[in-house]
Structure 1
């Protein structure tokens, strides 16, 4: 056999022949089976590298019932929160011996239905999915054969495992923090028109509950509407509210992108943060840590979201077939430079 043979045509038996071992030994090395001597493992890995061998997923599935691959379906890979959650899930999956395929659905209902309809069936062992538009009943009706765990505040069928934070409680705590710091007129940025998500509605509910419970000033004009989720939309909405005469001394933002928008709009009109107006974001992304001033923000435990989702998914992959389990992951408030008690 020519040792220079490369490419997709390389077979397990080619690696075994070059390494001078059995095909079973090569298979054990590929599957990271522990009971292989270091010397033999090194010889097999050298043969794999020389030949450019790539394990065939279909063959692996036939042999083991597993591909070692998982899918992560998220709305947008360039949205900071989803990007950071994807990183945590990818790192946790790697620690557990899996590889991740990441797919973005772009908030498209047909793309979300395709995830539920087992588009990855036979390619992956399980799917972690953050839906936006597909509803609870449709997920229950289309319940896939591939093990599935849902993330986020969207659909939560009883048949499916689900991981989220308590958005209402987190918003309440954010408002309570601002009230304790002496803020009396707290705005909410922003209520997105035609919002397909549940996140905004839950966060707005927590904001309203906290104001009501505290007997604090509540003005519908301080719920600032935006056209969409971008920083530019947030800047335009905040600027329009200020120009219309809205007066507030703090703002709770639905995410860190809108918090950046608030900082930009307030800077343009000469408002000081936090002296004139405190700003509290949501998600604790890199945007929060590197803004000026550093952004105070509600911080979901993203590492715990990843661990919990993979724990549930591995249970399903191992054969658990009970009713859906719904896990609430912890959150904190990261207090930085954009909130401070008034003197």
Structure 2
């Protein structure tokens, strides 16, 4: 490292090592798009070699920007959110930004802090999946902070919003099971105390697809769990089987619930998919490691993260138009638990 200590490396040191001007280094550090790719690579190599770390306070004073964005989500250990975070980090890095991740745990106080307190002065923009905040409160609190919302919450008219169509996706899952000849399709499921809109939309899509097929929805087939874990799903399926509930398929709220359902059915002596077909949701890494492997509704998580970052970048660069509502695609990733008919 040429005798330089990582904590003392300056912008001029990077410029000298890369053989470019300080302005070019500054453009790379700040993510300006007009830098030639080969030049950007040379500067980034010098940054990595010297261990240069931008002084965020100095950068903000000089440019009004920190080069940081925040991603606020309910659970960082949920496979779906973990994969969204990974895709967003890659998109942000390509755009010259770093990501701070914050977990809100569906706590309204923590959600308000994302917009009102904790991120003030630290980040240039926020990508946020709220579960408890109302539309008007979001509109009041985010003020001029560039913001993009994820998920099923209703967005203010001034705020960008990226999501999948949960009603349509649930309907696609049900139609896949109907095509396999299944008619007693359970929905797993509701969760005691859940306040989010996600499952209400998925339940609606499930019910509408059954009605469309001429099947009257049976409320006893809507299973309720005590919590959000695979163990909770396992317990809910155990209880349904023990009560003698008859069903030949299960549409699950996420892949964790689907994994719990598969295990519970196996313990009950029921074969998947021969006796009961199972469809998960989110198409996370879990799907490859269950036995059998899981068919899963697959939102385009990469497109969701990349589109959210694109919208946020436009806001951070001064776009002030009305909120844009973007719906990304979904498919069904077909595997062993509910094979193609």
Q: Does TM-score exceed 0.5, indicating one fold?
A: yes
Structure 1 position 290, deviation (Å): 2.3
Q: Equivalent residues in 2 for 1:10-29 (5 A)?
A: 11-12=10-11, 24=23, 27=26
- 2:286 aligned residue: 287
For residue 212 of structure 2, give the secondary structure of its aligned residue in structure 1: helix
CA deviations on 1:99-133 (whole Å, 9 max, x unpaired) are 11111112211111011215223222111111111
Residue in 2 aligned with 1:116? 115
How much has 1:247 moved relative to structure 2?
A: 0.4
> Partner of 2:93 in structure 1?
94
CA deviations 1:245-286 (Å, max 9, x no partner) are: 100000100111110011011000110111100001100001
- Structure 1 vs Structure 2 CA RMSD: 2.8
Match of 1:70 in 2: 69
Conserved 8 A contact 1:305-1:329: yes
Partners of 1:15 and 1:80 in 2: CA distance = 38
Q: What is the aligned partner in structure 1 of residue 244 from structure 2? A: 245
Farther off after superposition, 60-69 or 197-206: 60-69
Which one is further off, 245-254 or 331-340? Answer: 331-340
Preserved contact between residue 70 and residue 125 of structure 2 (Cα < 8 Å): yes
Distance 1:183 1:41 in 2: 55
The equivalent residue for 2:141 is 142
Q: Is the 8 A contact 1:185 1:218 kept in 2?
A: no
Q: Is the 8 A contact 2:15 2:43 kept in 1?
A: no
Distance 1:314 1:19, change over 3 A: closer
Cα drift, residue 95 of structure 1: 1.6
Equivalent residue runs for 1:57-206 within 5 Å: 57-117=56-116, 119-206=118-205
> Relative to structure 1, is the Cα distance of residues 293 and 159 closer, same or farther in structure 2, using a 3 angstrom cutoff?
same
Instruction: Indicate conservation of the 8 Å contact 2:184/2:249, yes or no.
Output: yes
Cα pair distance change 1:236/1:10, threshold 3 Å: same
| Native 8 Å contact 1:29 1:41 kept in 2 | no
> 1:218 and 1:24, CA in 2 relative to 1: closer, same or farther beyond 3 A?
closer
- 1:160 positional shift: 0.9
- The answer to whether the 8 A contact 2:189-2:222 is kept is yes
Unaligned runs of 5+ residues in structure 2 are: none
Q: Distance in 1 between matches of 2:43 and 2:148?
A: 39
How has the CA–CA distance of structure 1 residues 245 and 15 changed in structure 2, closer, same or farther, with 3 Å as cutoff? Answer: closer
Q: Give the structure with higher Rg (CA).
A: 1
Contact between 1:134 and 1:155, CA under 8 Å: does it hold in 2? Answer: no
Deviations 1:117-170 (A, max 9, x none): 152232221111111111212101212322000001124221211000000011
Structure 1 portions without partners, runs of 5+: none
CA distance in 1, matches of 2:79, 2:118: 26
Pair 145,219 (structure 1): closer, same or farther in 2 beyond 3 Å? same
Give 2:209's aligned residue.
210
| Partners of 1:299 and 1:332 within 8 A in 2 | yes
Structure 2 contact 14–46 (Cα < 8 Å) conserved: no
Query: Which residue of the partner structure matches residue 233 of structure 1?
Result: 232
- Please give the residue correspondences for 1:260-339 in structure 2 after superposition, counting only pairs within 5 Å: 260-339=259-338
Deviation at 1:308, TM superposition (A): 1.0
Select between 295-304 and 129-138 the one with higher mean Cα deviation.
129-138
